[in-house]
Amino acid sequence: MSLLLLSPLRADPSAPDDAVTFPTPDALVGTLIRFAWLASMVLAIGAVVFRELVLPRVLAPTWPEGPRRLAARAATLGWSAALLALAALAGRLVLQVQELRIPDVPVDVELLQMLVWRTTWGKLWLVQIALAVAAWRAFAGARAGYRVGWTVAAACAAGLAVTSALGSHAAGVEGWARVAVASDAVHALAAGGWAGGLATLFMAALWHRSGTPDDPAALIPRIVHAFSPVALTAAGLLAATGVINSWLQLGSLSDLWLTTWGITLLVKLGFVGSAAAFGAWNWRRIAPRLGDPDAADLLRRSAWWELTAMTLALLATAVLVATSVPSAQ
């Protein structure tokens, strides 16, 4: 998942390659903005996946209102993700202007018009703004109980994944651009299904402890069992498309440890592997015990660590997408 916001990664670009350097403040801000964009997309997709693929398989005969309340919480998370996307898009515009402006020359309307209306980046940015606004309104409608809100939100979340892929490194792969863009879009959707779906499950169900009027504790075993096949499918797609994306971007296998892009990818894979290990532990060891008094607390803690690893993987991705790919060097 790339954004082509190539912020500087070295404090002194003229320093030799083996010099010890640190990220500049601008690079750190750029990384945070890209992270916010990726996180908003993943959370929006995850909210839709939780509502459309998980909750329909959760039966609650003793609490008929349970699924509806969980859906409302998922919609709230999606609504928040859409607002975060709008903020990140504003930050992306600022970063892109800084990339194009001439030093010591004030930014004028002509530069903004040229960037937004006359470049591929700007046209994609406008589409993403429209999709984020539509998603924000759709999630608000879904939270109020309108079924059509989820349909529109799903289309918008998928649109964000596709437009992100169209503006990524994948679009520049010679001879394989269509395959690379499709793989990158599926990669984003799979990340949303796994990481975003788990985040939604955590916030909608696991975060709420016993004793509250709308406590979903009794539904947690059913929710987890309904989410497990979705997470496994998403993780499989994430791995498969990750291999395809890496193969298309790497010039050779040695680029994995000889280039900044490859080393960053290895760091990301380490975090993804950690998240997968926690997920496997949840699936094989904790999920079968759900219903025991302490199992929900164990699942809550383990899911927290899984989400932490996923967050770090997303942060590594925010660095990765701003690093020149080996195949383009």
Q: Is the pLDDT of residue 247 over 70?
A: yes
Q: Is the pLDDT of residue 12 over 90?
A: no
Beta bridge partners of 292: 290
pLDDT band for position 249 (cuts 50, 70, 90): confident
Write down the pLDDT at residue 63.
Answer: 63
Instruction: Give yes or no for a contact between 202 and 39, defined as CB atoms under 8 angstroms apart.
Output: no
For the segment 261-289, the average pLDDT, to the nearest whole number, is: 89
Q: Which of 181, 188, 164 is nearest to 314 (CA)?
A: 188
Write down the pLDDT at residue 208.
Answer: 63
Q: Is the pLDDT of residue 226 over 70?
A: yes
Q: Is the pLDDT of residue 75 over 50?
A: yes
Write down the pLDDT at residue 15.
Answer: 42
DSSP SS3 for 290 = strand
Q: Is the pLDDT of residue 6 over 50?
A: no
pLDDT band for position 64 (cuts 50, 70, 90): low
Token code pair at residue 139: 């999630």
Q: Is the pLDDT of residue 288 over 90?
A: no
At CA 120, angle to CA 317 and CA 187, rounded to 5?
30
DSSP SS3 for 292 = strand
Q: Is the pLDDT of residue 133 over 90?
A: yes
Q: Residue 306 class from Cβ within 10 Å (0-12 exposed, 13-18 middle, 19+ buried)?
A: buried
pTM passes above 0.85: yes
What are 153-212's pLDDT values in tens digits?
A: 999 999 999 999 998 877 777 778 899 999 999 999 999 999 999 999 999 887 765 445
Q: Is the pLDDT of residue 217 over 90?
A: no
Average pLDDT score over the chain: 84
Q: Is the pLDDT of residue 252 over 60?
A: yes
What are 300-320's pLDDT values in tens digits?
A: 888 999 999 999 999 999 998
Measured between alpha carbons, how far is residue 9 from residues 31, 145, 260, 323 in Å? 9, 45, 10, 8
Q: Rounded CA gap, 300 and 305, in Å? A: 9
